[in-house]
Every structure is written in structure tokens, then in C-alpha cells.
């Protein structure tokens, strides 16, 4: 049996349920039902504006954003769902920290809620480096259903892999 690489941290009965949905070919439909909304954040400029707006709303005092971009080479799992790089540079004699946020390009075509979830995750890292309690408190402050979203994002990635393994998908309906 193939391991469910996005769900390794979850209990066996949860994984078993996901396998069932996969075997029945229903996981995609379940997710599409719940997460039908697309987003219009198509390029790096739009992504920057999107991240900046959330930061203004919830984390105004955190260090300024550096670059914000979609990265086609990012592996979602390996980088714990995104990356957050601290870049320090000397400006006018003062050390000024700014942060670069890279979002795996799979999120460009993902439902709107998953883009929000990953951006919330990365923004929370502006203040908390570790995935600890304080970190998740920040996440749920910005997105109250953060934990559900993260779980469902893992289902979504599982479904994408399964669909890829099954062969080419029919073309998506026109937007």
C-alpha cells in the first residue's frame, strides 16, 4: 500500500477513511463540493498585494515583507507547506530584517481557501519560527478554521497526486 505522504501525522482510522474515498474515486468530488471558490491571484504582483492586505489586517507590526512570489520548484511537503526565509541586510547602519515569502505554485490553481491558509501559515512565521502553540494561535487568529483548512489541503494534495497517477484529466470547464 502506498503511504499517504501528506497525511503521515494523522491517525490510522483517518488515513483509512481517506483511502476509502480515494478507492471510490470520491475524494475529488467531496473537496470540490466544499471548496468550489477559485481565487484571482494569478501572478507575483497580485500575490504580493494579497499577502500585504492580510498582513495589514492582522500583523501590521511584524517585520516588513520582502519579496513575495509563486515558486514552481517548491515541494509542498519538503518545505512544510511553504518557505519562509529571513533575510537580514544592513541599511543605513541598522540591521533591518525583511522576509521573503515563497508560495508553491500549486496554490495558484488551488481553491481560494487553501491559498489563504498557506499565506496565513507563512505570515505567522514572521513572528514565530517554530510550529508551536503560539504559532498556531496566530494562524487561528487570522483564519479561525485554520486546522480544518490545513487538513483539507492535505486531502487536496493527496487527490492531486492520485489524479496525476491516474493519467491526464479532462480539460477544466471554462472559468
Residues that bind Zn ion (CB under 5 A): 80
Nearer to Zn ion among residue 6 and residue 22 (C-beta) = 6
User: What is the DSSP secondary-structure string of 5-16?
Assistant: TT-TTS-HHHHH
Which is nearest to 63 in space by CA: 75, 51, 74, 55? Answer: 55
Residues 6+ apart with CB under 8 A from 43: 70
Nearer to Zn ion among residue 56 and residue 132 (C-beta) = 132
Residue 38 and residue 94: Cα distance in Å, rounded?
A: 42
- C-beta of 121: minimal distance to Zn ion in Å? 6
Q: What residue is closest to Zn ion based on CB?
A: 80
Nearer to Zn ion among residue 23 and residue 80 (C-beta) = 80
- C-beta of 82: minimal distance to Zn ion in Å? 6
Nearer to Zn ion among residue 27 and residue 51 (C-beta) = 51
Which is nearest to 59 in space by CA: 108, 101, 107, 105? Answer: 101
- C-beta of 174: minimal distance to Zn ion in Å? 35
- C-beta of 139: minimal distance to Zn ion in Å? 10
Amino acid at each position: 500500500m502506498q503511504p499517504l505522504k501528506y497525511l503521515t501525522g494523522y491517525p490510522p482510522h483517518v488515513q483509512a477513511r481517506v483511502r476509502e474515498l480515494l478507492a471510490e474515486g470520491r475524494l475529488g468530488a467531496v473537496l470540490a463540493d466544499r471548496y468550489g471558490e477559485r481565487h484571482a491571484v494569478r501572478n507575483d504582483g497580485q500575490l504580493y498585494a494579497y499577502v500585504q492586505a492580510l498582513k495589514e489586517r492582522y500583523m501590521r507590526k511584524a517585520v516588513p515583507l520582502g519579496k513575495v512570489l509563486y515558486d514552481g520548484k517548491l515541494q509542498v511537503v519538503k518545505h512544510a507547506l511553504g518557505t519562509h526565509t529571513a533575510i537580514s541586510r544592513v541599511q543605513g547602519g541598522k540591521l533591518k530584517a525583511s522576509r521573503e515569502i515563497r508560495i508553491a505554485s500549486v496554490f495558484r490553481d488551488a481553491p481560494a481557501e487553501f491559498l489563504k491558509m498557506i499565506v496565513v501559515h507563512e505570515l505567522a512565521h514572521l513572528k514565530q519560527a517554530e510550529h508551536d502553540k503560539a504559532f498556531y494561535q496566530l494562524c487561528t487568529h487570522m483564519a479561525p478554521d485554520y486546522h480544518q483548512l490545513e487538513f483539507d489541503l492535505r486531502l487536496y494534495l493527496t487527490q492531486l497526486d492520485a489524479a496525476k497517477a491516474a493519467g491526464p484529466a479532462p480539460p477544466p470547464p471554462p472559468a
